[in-house]
Chains A and B, each alone.
Chain A
Amino acid sequence: MMGQKVFGAKCTSCGTVSYPRHAVCPNCRAESFEDVEISGTGKVLTYTDVYALAIDYETRYLRLAIVELESGQRVTGQLLDDDPKLGKAVKTQIGVVREQGERQMYGFQFVPA
């Protein structure tokens, strides 16, 4: 989606980027952060096709993954790949990952790099 980004929190003291953000830096315990965009290419650490879905989804299953980005962060998101494999190169894009009534929630989708 144009203009949609996902942000992590970069500690202004030690530079550690956390995703999700914490009130206190897990690395140095500082309490001040600046937003940094998280995106790019990475590798699939693990994935699943989940059929035990929560409310808000009408699909039969969701393909979810944890990806290790080259920038160092790990992120969870939806894997849009018909041939998923551990270690496969993917890149992030931003899309609607959940709809609650009228509310659309944006987040990571991973597509083959």
Chain B
Amino acid sequence: MKPVYIAGAGMTKFGRSEWSLLQLASVASLAALHHADLGEIPVDGVVVANMGAARINRQTALGSALVDQLALYPAAAEAVENGPASGASAFKVGVQAIASGMADVVLVTGVERMRVVNGLEGTDFVASLSQPEVEYIYGVTLPSLAGMFARLFMDRFGVERKHLAMIAIKNHENATKNPYAHIQQTVTMEGILTAPEAVVNNPPIAEPLHMFDCCPVSDGAASIVLVSEEVAGKLGGPMVRVAGIGQATDTHAVHEREDPTDLKAVRIASEKAFAMAGAQPADVDVAELHDAFTILEIAESEAAGFFAKGEGHKALERGETKLDGTLPINPSGGLKAKGHPVGATGVAQLVELTWQLRGEAKERQIKDAKIGYACNFGGFGNNVVATVLRREA
């Protein structure tokens, strides 16, 4: 395989947007293209990541639509729908195109415009990824799978609601340093858990998970420009290499897993990504995890290999995953506070890592970050893409 580098990264602010799906995708793409500053070097391919446009925006064939918006004809165009892992999957498709020698420059853009529908419809569109015959028919939604996972995980490993609140507090705090984040508001332990009014501020969503354990519903787009070694050499500037990608699937129905608290696909995808990168979890300087629900940040931090099983919440308690800790997790604010426009999320995680590895993350910059890791968690853990990026020069 040929080496693949990231030449540029950009995104829109996440949140409620008045922009159309294509405007969102175009704005993020142009930000990444300007960041890459390709000059006369042509874009060979465009890969768009999206989950719900066919249903909620009544729009399909987003790859060619984006090529048209950006006047990148005759660039090859495609779209990837892979549930909440669409973003990192599309990134992987772009990486494969360059690694194989079929392309030199690929634009990967993730986009979702999901606030256009009401809450029931929005929750249902995501719930449609669940097993239709044995989960969906019962009214299973993603929050309900997360709630059942959380109750079992907390019971087995001694995780308490205060630990979940610590994730929310940390990620909200980080998001206030990220101008692209959906939620720009800090929260306190009193406000969401211990004060009498916390029951009003923080109502249950899927017990034991409450509102501040769940990511918001966001519109937004994120974009990355991938290039071959030859093009990267011409461009100069910081060299961020795609060091490793791993992907794994698990059973569709959560109840079929041998141990439903084991995020097996995260474990396998991460092992593969680290093996490809020739790196270890202990080498990672910054991580972006898929905290669609607070419990997932703890569980993924263990499954990815950063902490032993049952130790993630203890590392959190010790402050190790804060911005100034030994392994900062979700400096961007994570899905929890940065927001979760589903198809954009996997790309946005890699945008944050790119900025961190280039030293461009401003107020939330992690000093001398050289190796970054991202976990994009599709389904309820049945399709996971793990990515390792490395700053080379």
Contacts and interface: CB of A to CB of B under 8 A. Distances in A.
A91 to B, nearest CB: 17
A46 B140 CA distance: 14
A76 B135 CA distance: 6
Interface in A48-77: 48-57, 62, 64-66, 74-77
B160 interface: no
Contacts of A75: 134, 255
A50 B206 contact: yes
Interface string A77-90: 11000000010000
Nearest to A87: B155
Nearest to A98: B137
A45 B253 CA distance: 15
B121 A105 contact: no
A51 B206 CA distance: 6
A101 interface: no
Interface string B283-319: 0000000000000000000000000000000000000
A55 B121 contact: yes
A75 B135 CA distance: 9
Given A20-B131, A75-B134, A52 B144 contact: yes
Given A65-B148, A66-B254, A53 B120 contact: yes
Contacts of A66: 148, 254-255, 260
A50 B131 contact: no
B137 A50 contact: no
Contact of B204 (A49, A54, A56, A77): A49
Interface string B197-223: 000000111111100001000000000
B151 A46 contact: yes
Interface string B122-149: 0110010001011111111111100111
Given A46-B148, A50-B147, A75-B255, A55 B120 contact: yes
Contacts of A51: 203-206
B133 A78 contact: no
Contacts of A20: 131, 133-134, 252-253, 256
B152 interface: yes
A75 B260 CA distance: 12
Nearest to B253: A20
A78 B147 CA distance: 14
Nearest to A38: B134
A48 B206 contact: yes
Nearest to B147: A48
Contact of A53 (B131, B139, B149, B208): B139
Contacts of A47: 148, 151
Residue of A19, A50, A86 with most partner-chain B CB within 10 A: A50
A97 interface: yes
Given A20-B133, A97-B137, A74 B256 contact: yes
Closest 7 CB pairs of A and B: A48-B147, A50-B144, A54-B124, A46-B152, A52-B143, A74-B255, A50-B206
Given A53-B141, A76-B254, 14 more contacts: A19-B134, A46-B151, A46-B152, A48-B144, A51-B204, A51-B205, A52-B123, A54-B136, A54-B140, A64-B138, A66-B148, A76-B135, A86-B155, A98-B139
Interface of A: 18-20, 26, 45-57, 62, 64-66, 74-78, 86, 97-98, 105, 107-108
